[in-house]
């Protein structure tokens, strides 16, 4: 520890170089944190799913409808507590760039299915049931466009043609930042009425009493509708959500690959710097040794300097990532429900920085330790 | 007289480790740049290659994509009699009435994705000559037979030749595998529209594709059909339609890629700056000598700039070499504009390589500018004394 001032002075002697090295580490670890947060954010939204809810859809694909009559048959299946339904509305607000999901939902049973959301003002769920053109918007969406209770929202239907006007009657708040509130709920009865009682149900949401029986109940549901014109596929909410993520292809592999490349690139850059720093100081190291510093002490000094520089970069880089994303409330246009750099990611980034410091310091430190005083003084003289 | 470039080449080879490490860092940045560009280009190229300039696609007004569209039989008959449609032997219009639905299939190796199942008519091969059967044969109209695009057959369960796919309550035999010269149709499953439509409970077609009698007749046909009160359709050139479908995902890939590259490049520039500052620092005495020999500060600055650019170009070339093996590798993702799978390949074009090299050149200029200016500011006496 008593060498710390010495190490600091050494590190700061060529300020420009040290700053440049720290900056390159900052940038790389910032990137590392960003990439890893993509993965943890997707995982977090999966963790928020409820194990007592199953999602029933057409086996062919989500784009097909199921008859409304399924709701009574689903309710009769043993283990099923409640049944509700929704449909993807697919309307456009202003233009295509202003995308957010809208779901036409069963006005009575849907909201009670999701107790993890609070709807404000208190009477909103009742108004939503009574008023055909009522809608409920999530907190984040309301914030994005400044929607207030009582405001009109006009959507242009793409799947269901026409112009659709809705009045905001409630704002949905979630209990956790990882729960998405970038959505809009509209009254399914209104959609059904305007489309000539087509009875379009995209998915049924089924509440079950015992999560451990989820697999068995899902099988029973699918067997009930097997060989009918509208066969079903029933999954847990988590599996259903995971389905969307896998559609993107193998992003996890891509992210891990890019992360690895970044780490290799910074190792190259910082190792190079440490080697340059040590080379320039050949003579000093020789003097230290002539003064009686042991090989181990010299090795320690060089290694400690490199460790110090990369840890400084690591702390700054992760700190930057944490602050930037939390201050800007970044969510990639609603793609992520939350984008928070977790402490796990911070710990990993710091560990990478430490590893980096060791790897890039080890060659110059080894060289310094092996240095022969006579050669060094003669050579550098 | 400029300082010979050989001086810089020699310097770079003498400091071999530092050169290789810096160039390696730059190379990795360039490689990532090339990969993301190749990904975006491959995606786009696939969708653009899907359409023909002289084919016209019609969908319901305001529906934006085929999956959401509907054109009933009466409207289809009106469209077929339009004078702008090419007539083939026997006065038959060259038209394909198509139904497009999505089906969720399982990827080999896990996960699932939505695949387009396109109901077509027998005229389709005439209309889309790029589509060729590469294995097996074309489906027989009116039977439970389908054909599958090559990448889908390779990547999805139950899509190989001789396999069965279940739609609704019926099993369909895969009797053929087709290719479409890398176009987006390869990501689809094709069958007889009249067999598939009742099964998917579709009463109307999703789209009509017609061949123009005269490629220049598009505008007049568009005006005629879009203003026809019986129809309510949007009329697109087939190529423009598919091109528009590709913009969303291609833009996302490019934006994410550019973000990654800019951040990585910033890191790499710091590395290059370090190396060049060290190069200048180690050669203070040489700089003094060159000044004494009569080289101007400007020439010395140019020389160090050239060295930096050379260093980064080595990195650029390295990056190109690193990235090249990925060319032609196939992958797939969901196109959010159509909610369906598109299989495509990484495509590295000469332009993309040039962009990669240009990026390394820019990095070299930035990384060299400050150290070189630093070198040029030395005076003879100071430089010779310090060294």
- Give the span between the Cα atoms of B99 and B152, in whole angstroms: 19
DSSP string for residues in A167-181: EEEEEEEESSTTS--
Q: Are residues A114 and A139 in the same domain?
A: yes
pLDDT of A381: 45
Q: Is residue A107 in a domain?
A: yes
- What was the pLDDT predicted at A198? 81
Last residue of a domain, one of A168, A202, A230: A230
**Together in a domain, A316 and A344:** yes
Mean pLDDT along residues A275-295: 83
Write out pLDDT tens, residues A345-374. Answer: 999 999 999 998 898 888 888 888 888 888
Euclidean distance between CA atoms B121 and A303, whole angstroms: 73
Range of the domain at A223: 60-230
Residue spans of alpha helices (H) in chain B: 5-14, 16-48, 73-80, 124-127, 150-155, 193-199, 218-226, 238-282, 284-293, 297-323, 350-376, 380-386
Tell me if A54 is assigned to some domain: no
- Contact of B68 with chain A, judged by CB distance below 8 Å, is answered with yes
Provide the 10 A C-beta neighbour count for residue B262: 12
Structural domain contains residue B252: yes
The confidence score (pLDDT) of residue B179 equals 94
- Taken in order B67, B72, B76, B78, the sign of the CA dihedral is negative
**A246-271 pLDDT, tens per residue?**
877 766 777 788 888 877 887 788 77
Residue ending a domain, choose from B183, B206, B231: B231
Domain of B73, in residue numbers = 62-231
Q: Domain check: are B70 and B212 in the same one? A: yes
Q: List beta partners, residue B120.
A: B192
Q: Which helix (H) or strand (E) holds B87?
A: strand B87-88
**Average pLDDT taken over every residue of chain A:** 88
Asked if residue B177 and residue B308 are part of one domain, the reply reads no
C-alpha atoms less than 13 angstroms from C-alpha of A111 in its C-beta half-sphere:
26
Final residue of a structural domain among A183, A198, A230: A230
Of B204, B231, B258, at which residue does a domain stop? B231
Same domain flag for B115 and B258: no
> At a CB cut-off of 8 Å and minimum separation 6, what does B164 contact?
B158, B171, B172, B173, B174
The pLDDT of residue A61 is 81
Q: A216 with A82, same domain?
A: yes
Nearest residue of B to residue A20, measured between CA atoms: B270
Helical residues (DSSP H) of A248-294, grouped into ranges: 251-280, 282-290
Closest chain B residue to A27 measured between Cα atoms? Answer: B267
Both B160 and B292 in one domain: the answer is no
Answer yes or no: do B188 and B252 share one domain.
no
Q: Which of B231, B262, B285 is the last residue of a domain?
A: B231
**Shared-domain flag, residues B220 and B122:** yes
The string of DSSP codes covering A33-44 is HHHHHHHHHHHH
What was the pLDDT predicted at B134? 95
User: What does chain B come to in residues?
Assistant: 387
Closest chain B residue to A280 measured between Cα atoms? B282
Q: Could you give the CA distance from residue B272 to residue B250 in angstroms, rounded to a whole number?
A: 31
Please answer yes or no on whether A61 and B111 come within 8 Å at the CB atom: no
Does a structural domain hold residue B352?
yes
Using DSSP bridges, classify how beta strands B330-335 and B92-93 pair: parallel, antiparallel or unpaired: unpaired
A248 touching B (Cβ < 8 Å) = yes
Partner residue facing A17 (CB), from B101, B110, B274: B274
Residue A102 is predicted with a pLDDT of 94
Same domain, A78 and A187: yes
What would the pLDDT profile of A92-110 be if each residue is shown by its tens digit?
A: 998 877 889 999 999 999 9
Residues B133 and B74 in one domain: yes
Percent of chain A with pLDDT over 90: 46
CA distance B234 to B242: 14
* Bridge partners, B331 (sequence order): B344
**pLDDT (tens digit per residue) in A131-185:** 999 999 999 899 989 999 999 999 998 888 889 999 999 999 998 888 888 899 9
Report residue A379's pLDDT band, with 50, 70 and 90 as the boundaries: low
Domain C-terminal end among A162, A196, A230? A230
Q: Does B24 touch chain A (CB under 8 A)?
A: yes
Residue B301 lies in a domain: yes
The pLDDT value given to residue A302? 85
Question: Around Cβ A108, how many Cβ atoms within 10 Å?
Answer: 13
* B259 plus B129 within the same structural domain: no
A155 and A302 belong to one structural domain: no
| 8 Å CB contact between A90 and B63 | no
Residues A156 and A284 in one domain: no
- pLDDT per position as a tens digit, A194-232: 988 888 899 999 999 999 999 999 999 999 998 887 889
Indicate the number of domains in chain B: 2
Is the model's pLDDT at A299 over the cut of 70?
Answer: yes
> How confident is the model at residue A6, as a pLDDT?
83
Considering the domain architecture, whether residues A346 and A287 belong to the same structural domain is answered as yes
Q: Check CB contact under 8 Å for B274 and A233.
A: no
pLDDT in tens, B334-376: 887 788 888 888 999 999 999 999 999 999 999 999 999 989 8
Q: Which residues of chain B have pLDDT under 50?
A: none
Domain-located, residue A243: no
B176 has which bridge partners? B136, B147
Q: Is residue A273 part of a domain?
A: yes
Number of domains in chain A: 2
Same domain, A83 and A210: yes
């Amino acid at each position: 520890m008593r060498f710390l001032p010495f190490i600091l002075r050494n590190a700061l002697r060529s300020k420009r170089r040290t700053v440049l090295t720290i900056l390159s580490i900052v940038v790389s670890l910032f990137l590392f944190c960003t990439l890893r947060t993509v993965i943890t954010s997707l995982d977090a939204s999966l963790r928020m799913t409820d194990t007592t809810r199953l999602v029933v859809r057409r086996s062919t694909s989500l784009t097909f409808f199921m008859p409304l009559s399924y709701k009574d048959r689903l309710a009769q299946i043993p283990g099923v507590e409640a049944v509700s339904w929704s449909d993807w509305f697919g309307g456009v607000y202003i233009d295509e760039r202003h995308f957010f999901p809208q779901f036409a939902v069963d006005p009575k049973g849907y909201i009670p299915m999701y107790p993890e959301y609070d709807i404000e003002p208190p009477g909103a769920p009742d108004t939503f049931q009574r008023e055909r053109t009522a809608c409920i918007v999530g907190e984040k969406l309301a914030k994005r466009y400044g929607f207030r209770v009582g405001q009109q929202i006009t959507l242009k239907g793409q799947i269901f043609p026409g112009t659709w006007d809705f009045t905001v009657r409630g704002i949905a708040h979630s209990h956790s930042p990882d729960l998405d509130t970038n959505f809009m709920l509209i009254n399914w009865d209104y959609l059904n009425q305007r489309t000539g009682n087509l009875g379009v149900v995209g998915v049924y949401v089924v509440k079950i009493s015992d999560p451990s029986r989820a697999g068995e109940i899902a099988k029973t549901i699918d067997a009930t509708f097997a060989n009918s014109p509208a066969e079903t596929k029933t999954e847990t909410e988590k599996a259903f959500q995971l389905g969307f993520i896998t559609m993107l292809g193998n992003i996890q592999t891509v992210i891990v690959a890019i992360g690895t490349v970044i780490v290799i690139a910074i190792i190259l850059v910082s190792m190079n710097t440490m080697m340059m720093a040590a080379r320039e100081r050949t003579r000093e190291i020789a003097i230290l040794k002539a003064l009686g510093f042991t090989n181990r002490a010299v090795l320690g000094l060089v290694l400690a300097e490199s460790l110090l520089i990369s840890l400084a970069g690591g702390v700054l880089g992760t700190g930057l990532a944490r602050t930037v994303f939390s201050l800007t409330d970044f969510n990639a246009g609603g793609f992520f429900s939350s984008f928070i750099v977790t402490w796990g990611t911070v710990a990993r980034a710091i560990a990478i920085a430490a590893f980096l410091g060791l790897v890039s310091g080890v060659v110059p430190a080894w060289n310094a330790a092996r240095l022969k005083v006579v050669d060094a003084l003669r050579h550098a003289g | 007289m400029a300082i010979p470039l050989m001086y810089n080449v020699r310097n770079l080879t003498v400091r071999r480790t530092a050169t290789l490490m810096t160039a390696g860092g730059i190379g990795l940045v360039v490689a990532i740049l090339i990969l993301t560009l190749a990904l975006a280009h491959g995606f786009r190229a696939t969708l653009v290659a899907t359409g023909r300039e002289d084919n016209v696609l019609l969908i319901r007004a305001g529906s934006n994509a085929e999956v959401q569209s509907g054109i009933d039989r009466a409207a289809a008959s009106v469209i077929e009699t339009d004078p702008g449609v090419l007539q083939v032997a026997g006065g038959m219009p060259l038209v394909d009435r198509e139904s497009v639905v999505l089906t969720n299939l399982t990827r080999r190796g896990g996960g699932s994705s939505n695949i387009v199942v396109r109901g077509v008519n027998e005229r389709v091969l005439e209309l889309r000559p790029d589509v060729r059967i590469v294995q097996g044969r074309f489906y027989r109209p009116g039977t439970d037979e389908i054909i599958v695009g090559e990448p889908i057959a390779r990547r999805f369960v139950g899509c190989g030749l001789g396999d069965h796919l279940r739609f609704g309550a019926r099993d369909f035999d895969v009797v053929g595998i087709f290719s479409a010269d890398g176009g987006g149709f390869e990501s689809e499953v094709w069958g007889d529209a009249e067999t598939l439509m009742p099964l998917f409970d579709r009463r109307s077609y999703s789209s009509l594709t017609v061949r123009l009698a005269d490629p220049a007749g598009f505008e007049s046909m568009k005006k005629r059909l879009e203003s026809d009160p019986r129809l309510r359709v949007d009329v697109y050139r087939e190529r423009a339609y598919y091109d528009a479908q590709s913009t969303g995902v291609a833009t996302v890939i490019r934006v994410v890629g550019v973000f990654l590259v800019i951040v990585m490049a910033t890191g790499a520039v710091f590395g290059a700056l370090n190396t060049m500052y060290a190069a200048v620092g180690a050669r203070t005495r040489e700089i003094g000598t060159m000044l004494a020999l009569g080289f101007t500060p400007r020439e010395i600055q140019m020389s160090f700039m050239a060295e930096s650019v050379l260093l980064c170009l080595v990195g650029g070339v390295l990056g190109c070499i690193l990235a090249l093996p990925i060319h032609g590798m196939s992958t797939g993702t969901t196109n959010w504009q159509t909610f369906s799978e598109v299989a495509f390949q990484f495509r590295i074009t000469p332009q993309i390589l040039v962009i990669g090299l240009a990026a390394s050149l820019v990095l070299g200029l930035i990384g060299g500018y400050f150290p070189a200016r630093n070198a040029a500011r030395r005076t003879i006496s100071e430089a010779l004394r310090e060294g």
